[in-house]
Chain A
């Protein structure tokens, strides 16, 4: 028989501890556990064999580190006979597949006891809540694939995390973004489409305007915007001699079929002509004189203008003579370029001066004595 005749302290892994000294003052404990006067921490309470007053104590005490506390108080009268720790060396090597879960202490399997790369997915719970932990991924993670869904991404992905964004990810309706971000957009990158006229320049953009180099819309220069013709509606016998005389109340706008004015046209009241708009006008007055019989050596047609609607200045005149005859015609012309800067102040008068009785020829069906107004351009 093995081990007969051997003292207990000779058993492998059986430790003999120093006896404690029960005391009324200490009661149930704790009592320090020592071996050779050195603190001794047993494996657990079950590994200790303590004899008090000849009675083996079991299951009625607990250990905490290097102390033991009894369930009942001890007294000075009690005597501790011995204390042994029954080491693991007393346990025989168990047979394969005989160590049950119950034999393992809770939490006894440490990380070191698990072989690397040997915890399979099947050993993990279906729902693994690691919200209380920090998951640190390596700088390069391969194999994630599409396993991480949008819902699993929280917060924002910063620009630094985006290394490439292909055009295929920008199809369809793009979100509204600020134009100030398109700082590198240049003309060569504009494909097709229409740039709104409001983005091209200031002013009114329509069929009558064009875009100038200073990025403003303006009317096309050089075009005729006003052209009008008036005529003496009937012949007038002129008998006021040696007197500059205003020709008033005898004008009509050409209304013969085929005639067409351009623009608003002129207006005449009491011999004073008013312009429809500012600008530089060419005025061409043509008088046709007919001798009244006795002739007239000096016949003048005059253009007078004012810049203040009050004081008139003679700007142009044309003179001609008609001989003593009943059929002697002659024509005289006066022209003027008038810079009309204000239509309410810049006015015009047409007057005549004769030295003998004459007839100023006119007609309501054709233009004989007449005046042309043509706006040449801006003032």
Chain B
């Protein structure tokens, strides 16, 4: 099941709001009581969505989160910033090897 924040982002984007600050504009709360997260405070200009409206974004949100997982996995195995800078400065085989590692990571965590 997709997370509430993902579905709200998609709902907001569909209503003309491309980014949300979840520390002020929309505040979500999870009381860790098994009921899951809920909207505690809604400060966007667009109407607060109903549960039914958010449910329509379930599939799209799952796909978004899967993609985010891919990106997260890739970030965890990509060469770090220092290695990248050295490769760019050194060029040659160092850069070629780094590019090969990045490509291997992408293949390990494909988007689809």
A residues at B contact (CB < 8 Å): 239-249, 270-271, 291-295, 324-326, 353, 355-357
Instruction: Tally inter-chain residue pairs, CB-CB below 8 A.
Output: 70
Partner of A324, one of B20, B28, B72: B72
15 CB-based A-B contacts, threshold 8 Å = A241-B3, A241-B6, A242-B22, A243-B5, A243-B29, A244-B27, A244-B30, A245-B32, A248-B31, A294-B69, A294-B75, A295-B75, A295-B76, A325-B76, A356-B72
**Is B73 an interface residue when CB atoms closer than 8 A count as contact?**
yes
Contacts of A249 in B (CB 8 A): 32
9 closest residue pairs by CB, A with B? A294-B72, A293-B76, A242-B22, A324-B75, A242-B5, A243-B28, A248-B32, A245-B30, A246-B32
- CB proximity of A111 to chain B, nearest CB, Å: 123
Interface of B is mostly: mixed
From A241, A247, A248, A294, give the contact of B76 (CB < 8 A): A294
Residues of B near A356 (CB, < 8 A) are: 72
Select from chain A the residue with minimum beta-carbon distance to B20. Answer: A242
A120 CA to B32 CA, complexed, in Å: 122
Taken together as a complex, chains A and B put the C-alpha atoms of A271 and B29 apart, in Å, by: 14
Cα distance A325–B27 when bound, in Å? 28
The contact string, 1 if C-beta is below 8 Å from chain A, for chain B 45-80, is: 000000000000000000000001101110111101
Bound complex: CA A248 to CA B71 (Å) = 30
CB B79 to nearest CB in A, in angstroms, measures 11
- Whether B37 is near chain A, meaning CB under 8 Å from some CB there, is yes
- B37 & A246 in contact (Cβ 8 Å cutoff): no
Q: Is the CB of A243 within 8 A of B4?
A: yes
Question: With A241-B5, A246-B31 given, is the CB distance from A357 to B72 under 8 Å?
Answer: yes
* A326 and B40 contacting across the interface, CB-CB below 8 Å: no
